[in-house]
Amino acid sequence: MASQKVVANGSSTKPHSQSNPLPRWLRTNNVYLFVPNLIGYARIVLASISLVYMPIHPLTCTILYGVSCILDALDGYAARKFSQSTKFGAVLDMVTDRCTTSCLLMFLSAAYPEHPGLKILFQFLLSLDLASHYMHMYAMMEKGAGSHKSVDREQSKILNLYYTNKTVLFTFCAANELHFVSLYLLSFPSPSAARDAILPFIKGMAYVTFPICFGKQIINFVQMARAAETLVNIDNESRQLAHQLNGEKKE
């Protein structure tokens, strides 16, 4: 019996280990080096280089900027596939999105000098994008949510659909960027016959993506309004609790 126990519990039997889909050289416990975050760093590099070409070479800028945006979808997939979803990665992803879009809107605000009203519009859209996401992130953090995407239907049906349905989220984000990129390309004079040939396509992309881009701005406004409401409710609850505690101390 003793010998049987040794065989059954001894070191000769190998414990079952869960397979890791990552190659050995990518396996690490360092969050900074997780695959989704490495993709995030690549996004930053590509977006930064695109800014160098933004005023001088629209095609190169568009390619670099577009690849950076495509990687935005890839890092989320990698996080789910390799079980490497982290708060650092989520914030890195959102901050990169906000910075790249802001830089493009800053360029657009000066790209149409013949239409001074567009300058104010693009500045407003930039401010709305930053304010809505910052307020939303802060409100969700104060609420104790695990992620800024954890929006329940009671808080907002629109935001719940936007953040929980990957198809809706991708469609609005992609169309939003495509609309701004098309406006960026249209801001340059036509230097070649090749560009003249694709000019109708660029204009068509601008028209097709406009309604979804407009919807994205409505979502940003709703997000900011709901975040403000959440923060006010938290303030009211804190003040009521403090008032009750002060009342109990006086008694």
DSSP string, 173-205: HHHHHHHHHHHHHHTS---SHHHHHHHHHHHHH
Kind plus residue range of the DSSP H or E element containing 31: none
Q: What are phi and psi of 226, to 5 degrees?
A: -70, -35
Given a contact cutoff of 8 angstroms between Cβ atoms, the answer to whether 134 and 102 are in contact is no
Which residues are identified as catalytic? 97
User: Is the CA virtual torsion 131, 137, 142, 148 positive or negative?
Assistant: positive
Residue 23 phi, psi dihedral angles, 5° rounding: -65, 155
Alpha carbon dihedral 27, 30, 35, 38, in 10-degree steps, equals -140
